[in-house]
Structures are given as structure tokens and as C-alpha cells.
Amino acid sequence: MTPARGLLARLRPRSFRAWTALGIIASLAVIFVAQSVLSQLLEDRAKQEVERTLDRQAAAVLAQVTAATPPDRDSVARRAANMLTDTRVKVKDGGVTVYWSQPSGATYAMGAARDGELEVTLERVDPISAVDRRVIFTVSAIGFGVAALVVWLVSGGLALRLRGRLNELSASADRVAEGHLDHRARVTDDEVGRLAETFNHMAARLEHDEARQRDFLADVAHELRTPVTAIEGFACALQDGTARSDDDRREAAGFIRDEAARMRTLVRELQELTWLDLDPPVRSEPVDLAELSREALARQRAAARRRGVELVGPEGTVRAFTDPAHVGTILGNLVSNAIAATPEGGRVEIRATGEGGDAVLTVTDTGVGISPEHLPYLFDRLFRVDASRVRGDDGGSGLGLSIVKRLAMLLGGRVTVQSQVGEGTTFTVWLLGAREDVQPPVAAQAAE
């Protein structure tokens, strides 16, 4: 760093008060200089006008002096001086001053006229004396100093208030950082108040997210505790001989296998959801959404046959540009849930359509439906419609719809649901800009 830059760095203000005072004082200085320059320009313009007037008056006086006889020239000059009370009149004849009035004061402007040996000079007296100019400068300097002092005091008050509000906000941030997420900063009607509102919104989001995290961990613990308890119980029965017959042992082994499979499914879906939260890369390639839908139904056909549910897929071809693996996972979860919610004799149908540059997938069932109060929370992690937390053999982990929502967002789309209790449910997945005739999004991230 050069010495000059080092000096500037040391002189740079270090506080809001100094910056505020410096800015206002600099503004006042600019105004003072601009006013001085403007005043000087106006004064010069006025002086030029006065000098042109004096030139005309000097020519008139010269004409009268020239017309008079030499003895009367002095009286002519005297009458001119009496008429021009603020003007000094000087008459020269052959370079010799023959008349000179002497009003007090310095010369401000001058005009002259000459005719042969005769010369008349008019000097306008400066209306402001040198003393007056010093007084004006002194008063201006004192006024500028008083203004700077007022600015310093006012900026000090503003800086003190700002420092106090920022200290309050800093203390609130420390409280939240210590774990008191219910703490809120005081909101005022100034700029810092708007910052406090933003801070409170952030704290509320953190509090909400922490509550959701606690609920999520509690739900995961509950999901794991049920199969672990069952596995432990049946394992003890096999160990201590309570399960004596072959049928009892086979039953215990079957329960252990089923509960272990449920735990494996839960852990796998937790891992998948965690991976999706890390924003993995999304492939984009040409796919046939109708064919993907038919494949998803084929994988669920055995489960649908056991439930007595009819599966209906789309016909034809619906071209799109998206990630086939993610779309397959979305359809698999939605169809699996739909089969589980549909009683015997019901139907699950997938439709694939294109709307402009977008692709739309709908999964409709004729199942039991979902109550309106549950719809806003349907995509929350581990949310279950059944309040008892007990699921049958077809029950999932409660993470499937969360995975569907996250995958739809990664594909640059969204998912919606409509349901009528006793009539059925329709899930709609919008893949925005996924048609082949539209440039696909790169690493698309969509809002809900």
C-alpha cells in the first residue's frame, strides 16, 4: 500500500456518525462553494452592465463638457457629479486633471469617454467596503461552523439511536443462536424495524422447522419402535422356547421377516429423501410418458390383483424430455398408494397428456378419498391420514408422497391433489416445459 493510500485509510471514518456528518458537511461545503461561484458570476455580470451604463453616461458628460466654454466646463462637471451622487467624476484636458469629485469608497466599476484632448472618466463607488466584505466572510464562516456543529450533534443522536437498535437486534440474534427460537426482536417504524420484521420471520421459520424436525424424528422413532418391538418379541419366543411347534416358529419367523422388510423400506425411503434434499443432478432425455405409465402399472399388477383392483393405463405416445427414473419413482409411489386406498372392485387409472410445452400425469383412484382437513399436510414427511398411527399390511412408511413432491420439484414441476371422501382421489403431476418441442430446464428447481 502506498503512503498516500495508507493515510487515506487511516483518515477514513469508522462510525455511522462520522460518515453521516462527513456526508452532510461535504454537501454543505458543495452548496457553499456553488453559491459563492454563482454569486461571483452574477456580480461579474452586474458589473459589466454597470460599466456599459457608465460608458454611456461618460459619453453624455463629455458631450456637455465639450460644448461648454473652458471657464464653464468646471461647473458642467460639478453638475454631473451632483446628479451622479454614487459616482466619482474625473475630467482631464490634455492629460491634466481639471476636475475630480471625491466620494468616499473604493472603485467598483468604471466608464470613460474621450474626445481629442478631453477625457471624462466615471468611477462607480463599491457599495460594499473591504471591511464589510471581511464581515460577510467571517459571518459565513461562523455560520458554516455552526451548521457543521449542528450536523455533528444531530448525526450523533441518529448514530446513537441506530447503535441502540442494532444492539437490540444483535442481542435478539444471540438469543436465537443460543436456542431460544421463540424470541422476537422489537419492531419499530423505521428502517431497522423492517430489518427486525425480516429477522422475526426468519426466527419463526427456524422455530417451525425445528418443530417439524422434532416431529419427524419422533415419527421415525415410532416407525422403528413398532417393528423392533415385534422382532424382539418373536426372537425371544424362538429363543426361550415359547414358540414350541413348527407352526409357531414359522409364524414367528414370518413376522420377523415382515417387520424387517418394513424397516428396510423405511430406511431406504429415508435415505432416498435425504439424497433428494441434496439436489442431485437431473437427467433430461427423450421419454414416452405413456410407456412409463404402463410400465409403472405392470410393476403393481400383482398387488392390484390381490386387492381386486383394476388398473388402466394410457394409450398411444406422449413424448417428453425429462428424467425417466424420477418419473418412474413418482408413478410407482402414487399407484402403490392408490391401490392401497382402493377397495375391491375399484379402479386406478393413469393418464398422460401434453398441454403446450408442459406434460401432465394424473393418477386417479376410486378409493375412500381424503378428508379436506388432511389435504394441506398430505405431502409432509411421515404424515398419515389415519390418526391412530396403525397401518395394515398395505400401509407405507408415510414418506412416499414427500418423495413424490421433492422429485416433482427437481424435475421443474409440481404436484397437486384433489379428493372427495367416498369417491376417490386424483394426483396431478405437472412437468413444466418437458415436451420435446420446448427447451428443457437445466438443473431445474421449481417452487411448490
- Domain 196-274 in this protein, CATH class: mainly alpha
pLDDT of residue 306: 92
Low-confidence ranges of the chain (pLDDT < 70): 1-19, 21, 105, 127-133, 215-217, 219, 222-223, 382-398, 434-448
pLDDT of residue 142: 83
**Which residues are registered as beta bridge partners of 114?**
119
List, for residues 367-388, the tens digit of each pLDDT value: 999 999 888 888 877 666 653 3
- Domain 282-431 in this protein, CATH class: alpha beta
Where does residue 358 fall: left (phi above 0), alpha (psi -120 to 50 degrees), or beta otherwise? Answer: beta
pLDDT of residue 189: 76
pLDDT of residue 448: 33
List, for residues 127-139, the tens digit of each pLDDT value: 665 556 677 778 7
Instruction: Using alpha carbons only, give the angle 395, 298, 359 rounded to the nearest 5 degrees.
Output: 90
Residue spans of the domains in the chain: they are 15-176, 196-274, 282-431
